[in-house]
Structure formats: structure tokens, C-alpha cells
């Protein structure tokens, strides 16, 4: 089957999934995942997707995260870090402990238990943020708390993956030097992002203005090229370049893309005012269309295609997968919610939404599973399928639980900000 034929099948599925999402009033992401699993198990797409589709899906998640960062206010993100440290800490420790304990109970193998704990630790922020956007909740304080907590979780997870995978394979032991190197790379990456943002996308005046030539260099002129015709291309190029930088520092490219969107200010789009066009809103609408209608969905369909149904293996591991899912659901929601309430000072409705928002497992989970099962054969086949089914169930629970939350609490209760003082 030609790669373009596979893409055509996936895009057709996007239409069908969107129709079912409209009829059932569920987020399209849930149906993208479902139809991805359906396509691969019916043999309509290959189990091993071609490189073109894999890379196309990767581009999709990069653009999705850039679009989400583009809509977020950088000041809100930075201030949210102060409220999110507890969510990231306890929302990662509890799932790790749960997965480690259950894996040890079933397989009595420390390496399998270690990899299981690592795979179930990092939150799939892309799935959560798309689900929140579908429900109109992506600009709430709780959504920002989820994003910052997930980024902190991803950083910590990358550190532990780099440190503990060699331990699990027996190739090395944990060293202080190795840990410091990984933490240092994380710090340097975020410093570079902030410096690039301050230089290329300054507010009123660049902090590098005193430097000859490059001090006055910014991307406003690039965005305004040809009367604004290359604005979208410029923004997408920035997203991809920051994704590449993120990848070279050991993070998922989506993290870099989100940070790129975060540092771009609305004030940079006040060009060609004679055209009477709001270039910022125009750019946001076009990027949203690319991200959520035709490139981004490919990522979620490809993600769903990772669950391949084998009846004997499925029935054998299903009880363990259900136990792991239930324990992780309870542990993740309760730990993140309680941490959000008492360390982040969110109200209880927002705290509960943060707990639901931290349930997803995708990018880093599959990185760990690939390292542990494909590259190093640490995981047994039973353990691999147990974790895959658990991951799929957790991902499905994200849009369902957020949808339930919205119906239960509604939009009027989403703000964690105190009410304004009375004028009386």
C-alpha cells in the first residue's frame, strides 16, 4: 500500500470520527484513537506505519502544541509554575509507585517493574490540551496548571529514563555526574528559549538592543513579508525549529513547539494596518485549522493504531491491565487533585479537572516502551501488552472524564481567581 493511500484512509477516518464526535457529543480525540485501533486491527493500515506517516504525525503534534502555546499567555504560564510544583511531584510519584508495585506483584522482576513505573509516570499533555480545547476549557487556570505540571513531569521523566534505563539493562549505574548533566541540559534549553523569545520577539524594546546589528534584529519584518502572506509559514517554521532544538536537548519536539508559541506576543502582529486585517487572529485561526482539522488528527489516529488486538494475549493480560488502570486512575486523580488543592491553592472543581487532565499517557510512555521492549527486551510480551492496554484506557478516560467534569461543574465555575471586590 502506498503511503499516500494510507494518508487518504486516515483522513477519511478523520471525517468519520468527527461525525461520531458530533453525534455523541464526545471529543473527536476519543474517536481518532478508537478508529486508529480499528483500522490497524482490520488490516486497513499496516501495523508498522511507514516513515512518511510517522513523520507526518510527528509534525501534527508539533503544530498542535505550538497552537496551544500560541493561545496561552506567557505570564500566566510562568506564574503557574509556582502553583504546579506539587502537582508535578505528587502526580508523578504516586503513578510510579502504583505501576512499580503492580508490575512487581505480577512478574517479580525489578527491571520490568522499573520500566513499568517510568512508562506510567509522564503525562500526555497533548491529548489533555486538545480535549480541553474541544470543551472550551483550554484557557482556564486549571489548564495552565496541567500544562506546566506536565512539562515539569516530562523533564523529570526524561532525567529518570536517561539514568535508570542503563541500570535496568545492566549497562551502568546511577552517577551524580550523569544526573547533573541531564538537569543542566534542561536548564540550558529553557534559558535558550527565553533568550530567543526576548531577542526575536521582544515586547516594546529588545533587551539586546545595545548589541550592534543583531540587537535590532527581530522577526516582525519576516512576519510582515509580502503584505503578511508569509506569516503562517514563518510561524510554522519557528515551531519546527524550536521542536528540533528541543529534540537535540533530549525532550519531545512538542515541548519546544509549545514554548515557541508561548513567547510570541500579539503585539508583533500590528503591521499593515491599512489592510484592516487582524493578522494575529487570522494566524491563530489558520494554525488552529492545520493543527486540529487535518494534520494534528493524524497523530491521534497513529497513536490509536499502536494497540494491536491478539485474542489470546488480550484475554490473558486484560485482568492485570484493568487492575493497573483502576489503580492508576484512582492514584493519579487523587494525588494530582489533592496536590493542586493544597500546594497550588486551586479550588476543588479546578483541582479535580487537573487530576483528570493528568491521566493521559502517550509520547514519553511510548518512548519508554520502545526502549524497554523493542530496543533492549527488558519487558516481556505480557508486560508490554498490559502497559499498552492500560495506556489506551487511560487515554480514553481523559476526554470522557473532562466531558463529565464540564457537565458536572460547567463553565461558570472554572476560574480559580478570587472574585473582584465589591464596589459598594
> In this structure, what CATH number is given to the domain that contains residue 241?
1.20.1530.20
How many structural domains are present in the chain? 1
Q: Would you say residue 331 has pLDDT above 60?
A: yes
Residue with cell 520502545: 370
Q: Is residue 95 part of a domain?
A: yes
What is the pTM assigned to this prediction?
0.70
Furthest CA-CA distance within the chain? 71
Residue 121 forms part of a structural domain: yes
Mean pLDDT of 250-279: 74
SS3 helix, strand, coil % of the chain, rounded to 5?
Answer: 75, 0, 25
Calpha distance 60→66 (Å, rounded): 10
On the question of pLDDT at 420 being above 50, the answer is: no
> What share of the chain in percent tops pLDDT 70?
77
Is residue 46 assigned to a domain? no
Range of the domain at 296: 60-411
pLDDT of residue 210: 52
Task: Let me know if residue 32 belongs to a domain.
Answer: no
- Is a pLDDT exceeding 50 seen at residue 92? yes
Give the mean model confidence (pLDDT) for residues 229-237: 85
Domain annotation covers residue 287: yes
Supply the pLDDT for residue 423.
Answer: 43
Query: Coil, helix or strand for 380?
Result: coil
Residue 2, classified by CB atoms within 10 Å of its CB into exposed (0-12), middle (13-18) or buried (19+), is exposed
HSE-up (13 A, CA, CB side) for residue 294: 5
pLDDT at 132 (0 to 100): 85
Q: Report DSSP letters for 208-255, one per residue.
A: TTTSTTGGG--SHHHHTHHHHTTHHHHHHHHHHHHHHHHHHTTS-HHH
Residue 398 inside a domain? The answer is yes
Mean pLDDT computed over 24-39: 83
Residue 219 falls inside a structural domain: yes
- pLDDT per residue over 133-175, tens digit each? 888 888 788 888 887 887 777 667 766 776 676 667 666 555 6
Mean pLDDT is highest, among 171-180, 324-333, 344-353, for 324-333
Which is more confidently placed, 127 or 419? 127
pLDDT in tens, 351-390: 999 999 999 886 667 767 777 886 678 888 899 889 988 9
Evaluate whether residue 254 is within a structural domain. Answer: yes
Q: How far apart are CA 159 and CA 251, in angstroms?
A: 10
Per-residue model confidence as pLDDT tens digits over 112-134: 998 899 889 878 777 787 888 88
C-alpha cell, 85 = 510544583
Amino acid at each position: 500500500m502506498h503511503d499516500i493511500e494510507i494518508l487518504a484512509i486516515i483522513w477519511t477516518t478523520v471525517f468519520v470520527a468527527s461525525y461520531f464526535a458530533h453525534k455523541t457529543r464526545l471529543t473527536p480525540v476519543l474517536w481518532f484513537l478508537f478508529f486508529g485501533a480499528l483500522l490497524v486491527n482490520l488490516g486497513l493500515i499496516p501495523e508498522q506505519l511507514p516513515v512518511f506517516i510517522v513523520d507526518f504525525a510527528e509534525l501534527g503534534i508539533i503544530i498542535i502544541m505550538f497552537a496551544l502555546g500560541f493561545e496561552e499567555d506567557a505570564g500566566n504560564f510562568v506564574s503557574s509554575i509556582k502553583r504546579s510544583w506539587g502537582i508535578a511531584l505528587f502526580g508523578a510519584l504516586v503513578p510510579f509507585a502504583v505501576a512499580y508495585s503492580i508490575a512487581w506483584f505480577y512478574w517479580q522482576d525489578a527491571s520490568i517493574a522499573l520500566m513499568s513505573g517510568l512508562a506510567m509516570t509522564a503525562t500526555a499533555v497533548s491529548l489533555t490540551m486538545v480535549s480541553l480545547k474541544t470543551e472550551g476549557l483550554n484557557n482556564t487556570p486549571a489548564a495552565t496548571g496541567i500544562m506546566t505540571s506536565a512539562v515539569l513531569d516530562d523533564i523529570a521523566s526524561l532525567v529518570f529514563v536517561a539514568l535508570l534505563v542503563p541500570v535496568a539493562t545492566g549497562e551502568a549505574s546511577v552517577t551524580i555526574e550523569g544526573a547533573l548533566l541531564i538537569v543542566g541540559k534542561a536548564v540550558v534549553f529553557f534559558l535558550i528559549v527565553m533568550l530567543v523569545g526576548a531577542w526575536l520577539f521582544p515586547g516594546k524594546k529588545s533587551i539586546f538592543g545595545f548589541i550592534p546589528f543583531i540587537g535590532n534584529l527581530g522577526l516582525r519584518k519576516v512576519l510582515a513579508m509580502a503584505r503578511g502572506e508569509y506569516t503562517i509559514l514563518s510561524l510554522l517554521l519557528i515551531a519546527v525549529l524550536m521542536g528540533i532544538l528541543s529534540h537535540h536537548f533530549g525532550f519531545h519536539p512538542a515541548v519546544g513547539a509549545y514554548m515557541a508559541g508561548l513567547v510570541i506576543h500579539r503585539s508583533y502582529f500590528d503591521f499593515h494596518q491599512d489592510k484592516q486585517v487582524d493578522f494575529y487572529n487570522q494566524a491563530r485561526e489558520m494554525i488552529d485549522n492545520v493543527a486540529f482539522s487535518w494534520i494534528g488528527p493524524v497523530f491521534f489516529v497513529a497513536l490509536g493504531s499502536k494497540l494491536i488486538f491478539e485474542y489470546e494475549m488480550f484475554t490473558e493480560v486484560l485482568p492485570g491491565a484493568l487492575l493497573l488502570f483502576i489503580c492508576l486512575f484512582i492514584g493519579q486523580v487523587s494525588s494530582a487533585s489533592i496536590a493542586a488543592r493544597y500546594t497550588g491553592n486551586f479550588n476543588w472543581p479546578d483541582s479535580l479537572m487537573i487530576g483528570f487532565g493528568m491521566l493521559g499517557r502517550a509520547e514519553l510512555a511510548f518512548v519508554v516502551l520502545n526502549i524497554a521492549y523493542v530496543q533492549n527486551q527488558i519487558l516481556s510480551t505480557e508486560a508490554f501488552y498490559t502497559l499498552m492496554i492500560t495506556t489506551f484506557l487511560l487515554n480514553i478516560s481523559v476526554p470522557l472524564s473532562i466531558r463529565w467534569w464540564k457537565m458536572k461543574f460547567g463553565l461558570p465555575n472554572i476560574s480559580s481567581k478570587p472574585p473582584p471586590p465589591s464596589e459598594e
